[in-house]
Structure 1
Amino acid sequence: MNTNILRKITLSQFDNRLGLEIGLKIHDLAKQRNQQVAIQVERLNHIIFTYIDNDLPADKHLWIKRKANVAKHFEESSLSVKHDLINGNMSLKETFALDEDQYLAKGGSIPIFVENAGMVATITVSGLSDEEDHFLILEAMKTTF
């Protein structure tokens, strides 16, 4: 198990255009690899970008929301929360009284922080394994910056 999972991304600035660019980059990377994903970029509780591939289950938007809720609540990536829960023998429901219909500790949502401002956005991917979802976001970020 990788214990060095990126917990958050900190940038000097973030705006809607950058969020759109990142969403499109994730889409392009997935398309090049014939991967079917759902993507959502959310800034200050409004959605900048959403895409759900054709053959994904109809409830995929709920997976995105639940992963993003974890990243927002803990202010760290949903994959790092998953590992923290496993390593600490904890659960969202029993330890934190979080409704598992609203929160999902699986990889694929990473919070975006702006220096001297705090958390301003989340980027969420679903459709692959949770580690692949997480690392697809990171790869898109590397090629965007």
Structure 2
Amino acid sequence: MSEDLIAVIEEQERRLVFPRFDETDAWALGSLLVGLATGRRLPIAVDIRRGEQQLFHAALPGATADNDAWIARKVRVVQRFAASSYLVGRRLAASGKTLGADLGVDPALFAAHGGAFPVRVNDAGIVAVVTVSGLPQADDHALVVEALETFLAKP
């Protein structure tokens, strides 16, 4: 099961690549995520950042400051390991490892839990991270993937 899930997430990361990504795209993608979550009454926070610059942030009803802390921890995983936080976590679980000192990271600052996804641009690599926090990790990840698929399907 875990190998199948890992293969699915790896395929998502290969497929969900942008031709370009700027501040306008961040606003549109973040707004799309907020629209999906609002329609479903999901208690989440949404964040898109390029390096240290926060391009988009929204906290919906039911989200708390704790969601912002989780976002920061998930983003660090994507930035450190160049993969979605869910993929990193599933790979670690499959190998019987945890995120910690043996990997050179402080688990208080890093969280390999689903919800943070790399924004990859063709011929440029990872340029940003889009993150959702507030749901179980598989659901956080699925919501981000749904939004990316919808966004990238637009002409």
Q: Do these two structures clear the TM 0.5 threshold for a shared fold by scoring above it?
A: yes
% identical aligned pairs? 30
The amino acid that maps onto 1:100 is: P
Partners of 1:67 and 1:83 in 2: how far apart?
A: 14
1:3 Cα deviation after fit: 2.4
Q: Tell me whether 1:52 sits opposite 2:55 in the alignment.
A: no
Partners of 2:8 and 2:27 in 1: how far apart?
A: 24
Q: What is the aligned counterpart of 2:19 among 3, 12, 15? A: 12
Tell me how large the CA RMSD over aligned residues is. Answer: 1.3
So what's the TM-score if we normalise by structure 1? 0.93
Partners of 2:104 and 2:98 in 1: how far apart?
A: 9
1:36 Cα deviation after fit: 1.1
Q: State the match for 1:87 in structure 2.
A: 94
| Cα deviation code 1:51-90 (max 9, x no counterpart) | 1123223222110000111011110000000100001111
Structure having the higher helix fraction is 2
So what's the TM-score if we normalise by structure 2? 0.88
Partners of 1:112 and 1:39 in 2: how far apart?
A: 14
Q: State the match for 1:43 in structure 2.
A: 50
The amino acid that maps onto 2:54 is: I
Q: State the match for 1:130 in structure 2.
A: 137
Structure 1 portions without partners, runs of 5+: none
Number of residues of Structure 1 aligned to a counterpart in Structure 2: 145
Q: Tell me whether 1:99 sits opposite 2:106 in the alignment.
A: yes
